[in-house]
């Protein structure tokens, strides 16, 4: 039996991270300016983080419903927002990975993999936390936004909840 493994990030935190990386630079500046232009109904709307996050979630949904990786926001956007579920399951929903660890247990997970592969290497956890939106994780999605994330990434929440934790 071949060992295969992956790390699952908590989907809401992943979504916030994707938002900052792909979309929002702060102070009302968008990385994907055309996305907001397409979504504006009136010129009086205020550009704020919450509104931009709503538009971002709408664009994730549109992208996942699109037949093309280039629509509506291009392949860079499309490849970053796909659910993890699609990468670790077959067409019947069977998980194809031997072990899925939580990303916050990266060091422990890698050490377990080293042990199972009979490698002597071990990693030590540093005192600082691993990248968990350290400089950008201040945004807190609304209840409606969390519900939308849960809808879009429902199977990723399942993967995360069932992932190995230490």
User: What does the pLDDT look like over 24-70, one tens digit per residue?
Assistant: 765 545 555 555 555 554 444 456 888 889 999 999 999 999 999 99
Label residue 1 by pLDDT band (50, 70, 90): confident
C-alpha–C-alpha distance, residues 40 and 17, integer Å? 24
What is the average pLDDT across 70-77? Answer: 89
pLDDT in tens, 150-162: 999 999 999 999 9
pLDDT at 133 over 50: no
With a pLDDT cut of 70, the percent of the chain lying above it is: 80
What are residue 95's DSSP bridge partners? 89
- Beta strand residue intervals within 24-155, DSSP E: 24-26, 29-30, 99-102
Give CA–CA dist 126/135, Å, rounded: 18
Least confident of 17-21, 94-98, 160-164: 17-21
Could you give the C-alpha distances from 7 to 1, 65, 102, in angstroms and in order? 20, 25, 5
pLDDT of 10: 97
């Amino acid at each position: 039996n071949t060992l295969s493994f992956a790390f699952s990030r908590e989907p809401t935190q992943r979504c916030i991270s994707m938002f900052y990386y792909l979309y929002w630079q702060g102070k009302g500046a968008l990385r994907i300016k055309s996305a907001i232009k397409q979504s504006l109904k009136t010129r009086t709307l205020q550009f704020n983080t919450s509104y931009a996050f709503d538009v971002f979630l709408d664009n994730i949904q549109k992208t996942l419903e699109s037949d093309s990786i280039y629509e509506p926001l291009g392949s860079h956007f499309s490849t970053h927002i796909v659910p993890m579920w699609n990468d670790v399951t077959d067409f019947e929903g069977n998980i194809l990975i031997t072990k899925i660890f939580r990303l916050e247990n990266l060091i422990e997970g890698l050490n377990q993999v080293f042990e199972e592969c009979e490698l002597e290497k071990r990693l030590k956890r540093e005192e600082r936390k691993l990248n968990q939106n350290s400089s950008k994780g201040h945004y807190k999605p609304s209840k409606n936004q969390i519900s939308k994330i849960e809808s879009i990434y429902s199977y990723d929440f399942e993967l995360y909840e069932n992932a190995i934790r230490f």
